[in-house]
Amino acid sequence: MAYVQVEADDVRRLEEGPEGLQFKSFLGSDAGAGNGGNPMRSAGVGNADRGYLQEQASQRKGSSGFWTVEYYQPYFDIDTQTVLKRCYTTLIPTAAKTYISTHLNPPDLYGPFWTLTTLIFTLFLSSSLAASIAVYLSPEGSEYDYDFQLLSIAVSLVYAYGLALPVLLWIALRYLGVGEWSVVEAVSVWGYAHFVWIPVSILCVIPVPILRWVLVGVAFGLSGYFLVANIYPILASAEAKPTRLIIILLAALHFGLALTFKVMFFSYYVVDKIGADIPIPGGD
């Protein structure tokens, strides 16, 4: 009977549990510390939807080289409404000086690539349409064949000026010790600056020489002012004052681009021209 009594006491002691063997849960304190003191939020959920995924994304971006596709994916993560807003804002002169800090934050590559690619097709299609209209309205009534060489010229010219030139400028400024902007910002500024040429190329289908020169002049002025307003402060931050003279070279290149657009893509007229034209040296 004594053995039975001792066994019953042991069972009762195990059921009650000694003070040192009581199980305690530390999930509440950890969850509260990790979730701003909210005990109803588990630690696993807090890590999953807050810091953990963000840290993983930053680690993936940091570990990817600039030659990989993953490195450039964040710069294409932008909605269409933001891209359109950044495009038409370039047409407002008063917003040009604060464009990078106000409207291009953060910079993207989708908008500039979309703008340059659209410009290539509008240049080719508008010039082809203008040429076909000019041939149709001319008294000779000759047939028109599409000049696909203009498409290759547009691709080379637009991508070289809109993509290669800002990259080369960024490399040159880095060599000169000017690190006020990134290569993505440089490409973004150049890409969005070309947006004004899209409506201008469409309007230049109208076979009126003086109107085409006015449209080209307006596009040259708006896009040129936009580039100067965003690039000159970067050049002015350089310790070497002669660095500011680079803006003259960029203005000359921009003028050459506008003149090339006019001569190569906007020079189709009917035989009886409407209005006067400016003679081009070496032209017929």
Question: In this predicted model, what pLDDT tens digit does every residue of 206-224 receive, in sequence order?
Answer: 878 899 999 999 999 999 9
Q: What angle do CA 264, 188, 157 make, to 5 degrees?
A: 20
Instruction: Using pLDDT thresholds of 50, 70 and 90, give the confidence band for residue 33.
Output: very low
**Residue type at 23 in one-letter notation:** F
**Total domains in the fold of the chain:** 1
What's residue 226's pLDDT? Answer: 94
The pLDDT score that the predictor gives to residue 189 is 93
Mean pLDDT of 15-26: 47
* pLDDT reading at 81 higher than 80: yes
- For helices 110-137 and 246-265, what crossing angle results, to 10°? 40
HSE (side-chain half, CA atoms, 13 Å) at 234? 27
Mean pLDDT over 105-128 rounds to 91
Average pLDDT, the chain: 75
Residue 167 forms part of a structural domain: yes
Residue 277 burial (CB < 10 Å; 0-12/13-18/19+)?
middle
Comparing 244 with 162, the larger pLDDT belongs to 162
Q: Residue 33, class by beta-carbon neighbours within 10 Å (0-12 exposed, 13-18 middle, 19+ buried)?
A: exposed
**191 belongs to a structural domain:** yes
For residue 234, which phi and psi values (nearest 5 degrees)?
Answer: -70, -45
Is residue 68, in this structure, part of any structural domain at all? no
**Chain centroid to CA 227: how far?**
15
**Is 6 a domain residue?**
no
Looking at residue 201, what is its pLDDT? 93
Residue 5 located in a structural domain: no
pLDDT at 275 over 70: no
Please report where in the chains the tokens 């002015």 appear, as a residue. Answer: 236
* pLDDT attached to residue 28: 42
Q: Which domain holds residue 126?
A: 109-266
SS3 18: coil
199 in any annotated domain: yes
Residue 241: pLDDT band with limits 50, 70, 90: confident
- The pLDDT value recorded for residue 98 is 85
Structure confidence by residue, pLDDT tens digits, 246-256: 999 999 999 99
Q: Rounded CA gap, 124 and 114, in Å?
A: 16
Kindly state whether residue 183 falls inside one of the protein's structural domains.
yes
Which residue has better confidence, 41 or 115?
115
Within a domain: residue 217?
yes
In tens, the pLDDT along 143-159 reads: 666 677 888 999 999 99
